Amino acid sequence: MSVTLRELKIKTGVVKRLFKEEKSYRQEVEKQQKRIDKLTEDGTDKHTIAKQVYDIIILFFIEEIKSLLSLFCKIERSIARIIKYDSRLPESS
């Protein structure tokens, strides 16, 4: 197996893993949002809710999602560069 093909397989594996990770983060954000909505409905102290929403839960997951998107962009550029410049790759039909 050529080095380039092996490199592509590794990078596509990373992309698959990142998609799964990103999906789980989004699901967790939705789950936590529902929990916060329930706390609000139950009349929990607004300070407690705000602390949980911004400091602990939402910001962490939003930053993680941003980080994953950045990784997606880097890997996409790397894969595109490999495909464009490596003549050893088999032609697709």
Kindly state whether residue 24 falls inside one of the protein's structural domains. Answer: yes
Q: Is residue 27 within 8 Å of residue 91, measured between CB atoms? A: no
What does the pLDDT read at residue 61?
76
29-58 tens-digit pLDDT? 788 788 888 888 888 888 877 777 776 677
SS3 content of the chain, % helix, strand, coil (to 5): 85, 0, 15
> Per-residue confidence at 84, pLDDT binned at 50, 70, 90?
confident
Any domain includes 92? no
pLDDT over 70 at 73, yes or no: yes
What residue type is 53 in one-letter code? Answer: V
Residue 50: give the domain boundaries.
3-85
User: Domain containing 8 — which CATH number?
Assistant: 1.20.58
Query: Global pTM?
Result: 0.58
- Residues contacting 36, CB < 8 A, separation 6+: 49, 52, 53, 57
Q: Which residue has the higher pLDDT, 22 or 91?
A: 22
If you average pLDDT over residues 60-84, what whole number do you get? 84
Residue 89 has pLDDT above 60, yes or no: no
Residue 28 lies in a domain: yes
Is the separation of the CB atoms in 4 and 82 below 8 Å? yes
- The count of domains in the chain is 1
Contact 76, 8 (CB under 8 A): no
